Each structure stands twice: as structure tokens, then as C-alpha cells.
């Protein structure tokens, strides 16, 4: 059977509580952690067919299928489903919203049990290991001790890498797509500008904008517009929009005029409806500090691991370019890990991991075969 999944539902579970808090790598703790997640397929009696999907920066748990009454399918519906690379006739696929997010999992706008008010900027800074700790606890909740494969693109791939380091015996195969083991200086610079745009917005109110019944709309929109440019390629923008103007006549104007400008305006506007500014601040900062091979225990843990890695980059991705993937491959191989690497030709830039350029899905499917 090959085709899309039918209707799916998002589930929620409280994984950490005051009596069993989430102790963060930075020394803090969270006394209440709720997680939103979805599952697709059936868990085998042996509980050995789990594929765990981690989403990218602004993703969520709805990775595949269709919610009742909705028109838009899950963000990775093209790779998850019957007969697809993450074959739900074979695998039990788990997809959660990450810690610090804003789509059902505990984040900065969640209520702080100690105050009864949202955390706002009192929410603790997160390390990638904190996200992984929540993923691992979700697996225990589902009665699973080991996953067959962990799969993720961009920030999702970084979560899988950290998981393979933190718990070397828990992931048999790790699929890391358009990811990095340490952000480039340019990446940190882009994120810094985005955060500055948000925090400088007059409606930010020190992060307590909800109390003022507003959001830092302009800053968040600018941050997304800029970031979106880095997710696509010059070729894809030129092919889609070229130098086309959306107005009639030759008169010059200061307002948006070119088709690409209107496209970015739209991307910025729709982002406001689906993502929270504080989550954006926390998760981009999390990425800046990610550098697992700087930890002295990483080499020893990976040397003892049985995880097989597949690392894939795209030739038009300039946000997380192939050099960053190659650096990760070299670091993994230096630790004794087995790595399958390839660069895929694609015109779509960083967003290629969400799409289906030739050879990409076939590569993932082949790696996940027994």
C-alpha cells in the first residue's frame, strides 16, 4: 500500500512533575512538562520498529496525515506514510513538539507552577540535551527502550545527533539531514539580527506582551522575512519570481512592488499566526550554543555506540551548507562512528529537506531497510 495517511490526532501527556522534575543541563529545573505528540503506524509486539522524528526550528508535532476539519497535511507528509521512506506499514513513527516550543509542549508562554503566570523570559535557557531528555521520557511513556531510527532535518537532525551522544545504545540508525554540529558564525549573526528585531519592537514589553494583549508583530515579521531568505536558494527565488513586479505601470514606489517582496510579506504575516516570539528567541539561542563535539565525553560515548549515521546535505543550501555536514562527518568518523554521507543536488536551498529533490527520499528509504 502506498499513499497518504488518513486522519490523525495530536496527543498530550505530562512527562515531568514537581515530584519528578526535569533537571536541566544548565542546572535549573522544570516542575511541569507537558508534551504534544503524534504517532503513525502500529507499534510491533517486540517494540522494535520505532522511528522518532524531530522537527526543525518552527515545526510542531503534526508531521503527517490530516487533522479532522483541516485542509493542510502534516509538514513532512511527503516522507511519512504507507509505502513512503518512513513507511507506516512497517514503522511506528513518533513525532513530538519540542521543549520550548509553542504548539502544545511546555515553553516560555506556559504557566510557571511557582507563580501561576507564564514564564516569559524567566523560562530557563535550554541545551539540546534538555530536548533529548524529554524525547527519551516520551519513549519510556510509550513503553519503548530503544528506537530503530531517529530522523530529523536542520534542528531536528541536531537533536538526533545529541541523542546518539547522550544515550549511545538507544538509537540504531540516525538520519541527519541539512544539519550541523556547530553553527557557522554567519548563522549566529543572522539569528542575532532576528532576535534584535523582536526584542526591539515596542510591543515586546520585556517579553510580557501577552499581558498587554499584543505581540511584537513588526519585529517578529522582519525576523521571519529575513530567515526565510536563508532557507531558500537564489535559484529558487529567481525561478519563482524573477524581476517581476506585481503593480501596473512603470512608476517607482517605496512600498513593496516586486513579486518577491510580496512573497516575503506573506511569509512574515502567516508566521505571526502560527508561532510565538519567545519560543523563537529561546530556540534560536539554543542553536547558537550547540557544539556537542566540544564536550570531553562525546568521543568516548560515540566510540562505544552502535549507531549508524546517515548524513545528507544539499548543494544549494547556504544556511547549513555542505561544509558543515562534512565537518560533522569528520567528527563522527574521528570518534569511530560509521557514517554514510552524500550531497544531493537540489534547487531548493535549506528547505530541500522538507521537499523531494531526486535521490533524497530514495537515499533515506535505502538506509532504513534492514
Output the average pLDDT for the chain.
97
224: annotated binding-site residue? Answer: yes
pTM of the full predicted structure? 0.97
User: How many whole angstroms separate alpha carbon 307 and alpha carbon 139?
Assistant: 18
Helix (H) or strand (E) holding 40: strand 33-40
* pLDDT greater at residue 107 or residue 249: 107
The pLDDT value given to residue 348: 98
State yes or no: pLDDT of 218 exceeds 90. yes
CB 153 within 8 A of CB 75: no
Task: Lowest mean pLDDT of 136-150, 240-254, 304-318, name the range.
Answer: 240-254
- The torsion of the CA quartet 121, 124, 128, 130, rounded to 10 degrees, works out to -140
Q: Give the residue numbers annotated as catalytic, written as ranges.
A: 154, 317, 350
CB 366 within 8 A of CB 246: no
What are the chain's domains? 11-186+285-367 (3.40.50.1820), 187-284 (1.10.1740.110)
The CA-atom distances, in angstroms, between 334 and each of 7, 178, 300 are 44, 20, 11
Percent of the chain clearing pLDDT 70 (strictly above) = 99
Strand partners, 258: 245
The CA-atom distances, in angstroms, between 315 and each of 39, 309, 339, 364 are 32, 20, 19, 17
The pLDDT value given to residue 296: 96
**What would the grid cell of residue 201 be?**
519592537
User: How many whole angstroms separate alpha carbon 265 and alpha carbon 198?
Assistant: 16
pLDDT band at residue 248 using 50, 70 and 90 as cut-offs: confident
Amino acid at each position: 500500500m502506498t499513499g497518504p495517511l488518513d486522519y490523525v490526532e495530536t496527543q498530550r501527556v505530562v512527562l515531568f512533575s514537581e515530584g519528578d522534575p526535569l533537571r536541566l543541563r544548565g542546572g535549573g529545573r522544570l516542575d511541569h512538562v507537558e508534551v504534544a505528540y503524534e504517532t503513525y503506524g502500529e507499534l510491533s509486539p517486540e517494540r522494535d520498529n520505532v522511528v522518532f522524528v524531530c522537527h526543525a526550528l518552527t515545526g510542531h508535532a503534526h508531521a503527517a496525515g490530516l487533522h479532522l476539519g483541516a485542509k493542510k497535511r502534516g509538514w513532512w507528509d511527503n516522507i511519512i506514510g504507507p509505502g513512503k521512506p518512513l513507511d507506516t506499514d512497517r514503522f511506528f513513527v513518533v513525532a513530538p513538539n519540542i521543549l520550548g516550543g509553542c504548539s502544545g509542549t511546555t515553553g516560555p508562554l506556559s504557566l510557571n507552577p511557582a507563580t501561576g503566570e507564564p514564564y516569559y523570559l524567566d523560562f530557563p535557557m535550554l541545551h539540546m540535551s534538555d530536548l533529548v531528555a524529554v524525547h527519551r521520557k516520551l519513549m519510556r511513556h510509550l513503553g519503548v527502550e530503544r528506537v530503530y531510527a531517529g530522523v530529523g532535518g536542520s534542528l531536528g537532525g541536531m537533536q538526533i545527533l545529541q541523542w546518539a551522544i547522550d544515550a549511545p545504545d538507544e538509537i540504531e540508525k540516525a538520519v541527519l539531514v541539512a544539519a550541523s554540529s556547530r553553527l557557522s558564525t554567519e548563522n549566529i549573526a543572522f539569528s542575532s539580527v532576528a532576535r534584535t528585531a523582536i526584542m526591539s519592537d515596542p510591543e515586546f514589553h520585556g517579553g510580557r506582551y501577552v499581558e498587554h494583549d499584543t505581540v511584537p508583530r513588526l519585529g517578529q515579521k522582519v525576523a521571519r522575512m529575513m530567515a526565510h531568505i536563508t532557507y531558500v536558494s537564489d535559484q529558487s527565488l529567481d525561478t519563482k519570481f524573477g524581476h517581476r513586479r506585481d503593480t501596473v505601470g512603470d512608476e517607482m514606489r517605496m512600498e513593496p512592488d516586486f513579486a518577491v517582496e510580496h512573497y516575503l510579506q506573506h511569509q512574515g504575516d502567516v508566521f505571526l499566526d502560527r508561532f510565538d516570539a519567545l519560543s523563537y528567541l529561546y530556540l534560536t539561542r539554543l542553536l547558537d550554543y550547540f557544539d556537542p563535539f566540544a564536550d570531553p565525553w562525546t568521543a568516548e560515548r560515540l566510540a562505544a555506540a552502535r549507531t549508524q549515521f546517515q548524513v545528507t546535505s544539499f548543494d544549494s543550501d547556504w544556511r547549513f551548507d555542505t561544509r558543515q555536514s562534512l565537518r560533522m562527518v569528520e567528527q563522527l568518523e574521528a570518534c569511530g562512528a560509521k557514517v554514510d554521507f552524500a550531497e544531493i543536488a537540489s534547487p531548493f536551498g535549506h528547505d530541500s529537506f522538507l521537499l523531494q529533490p531526486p535521490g533524497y527520499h530514495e537515499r533515506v528509504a535505502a538506509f532504513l531497510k534492514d
